[in-house]
A and B are shown apart, each in its own frame.
Chain A
């Protein structure tokens, strides 16, 4: 079946503009994650959605970052008033992850490379 898809694959924007990044998780996966990967860096957790529960936003670096997940499926990560330090690859992952159980495999999308000029 189809894996996690993300769009756009590349996004170049000017400082101060808003951007929206989209993630389509694997069908039936209840958990969805956003990560940020800066050049040469690890995977920085941003936000986690699990079913209808309130999202874990503890990794969002500032209030310019927000995310939503509609209908328990597609998710959008929005960055307002982008800054040059926001330049990174934004990765989305999904997993079956029944709540309260041990970890399931996270399946990652190919990422969106964001460049802020």
Chain B
């Protein structure tokens, strides 16, 4: 059974700083690593995902870095803003179909 270990559990960053969240996985049938963002009282929503024929994917201030040999991937939020304050979940595929195993989540607080 796939396990995904996410760290840190919580993170406090000053406005304008860089937020970094890390995840490690065990095994995967194929490479697809999404990050979901969840605001209080809402369901998670896809933020960014990588299908790593590349080692990095950038969308605006959000970047996923992927290290296949280490079985690790990370989310970097550049120029963090108070509006980025949310819980972030990484995920990795488990099994041969559309089933994701999620990390425990990181609660990010960006202080103005």
A93 touches B104 (CB 8 A): no
Interface-lining segment among A61-69, A78-86, A106-114: A106-114
Chain A, residues 40-59, CB within 8 Å of chain B (1/0): the string is 01110100101000001000
A108 touches B98 (CB 8 A): no
Count contacts on B: residues with CB < 8 A to the other chain: 26
List, in ascending order, chain B residues with CB within 8 A of A43's CB.
44, 89, 102, 105
A103 touches B32 (CB 8 A): yes
Given contacts A91-B43, A108-B43, A111-B43, contact A99 B97 (CB under 8 A): yes
B102 touches A42 (CB 8 A): yes
Q: How far is the CA of A33 from the CA of B43 in the complex (A)?
A: 13
B100 touches A103 (CB 8 A): yes
B97 shortest CB reach to chain A, Å: 7
Closest to A101 in B: B98
B77 shortest CB reach to chain A, Å: 19
List, in ascending order, chain B residues with CB within 8 A of A33's CB.
99
Closest CB pairs A-B (n = 5): A108-B43, A42-B104, A43-B102, A97-B98, A105-B46
A-side residues, CB < 8 A to B, are 4, 31, 33, 35, 41-43, 45, 48, 50, 56, 91, 93, 95, 97, 99-111
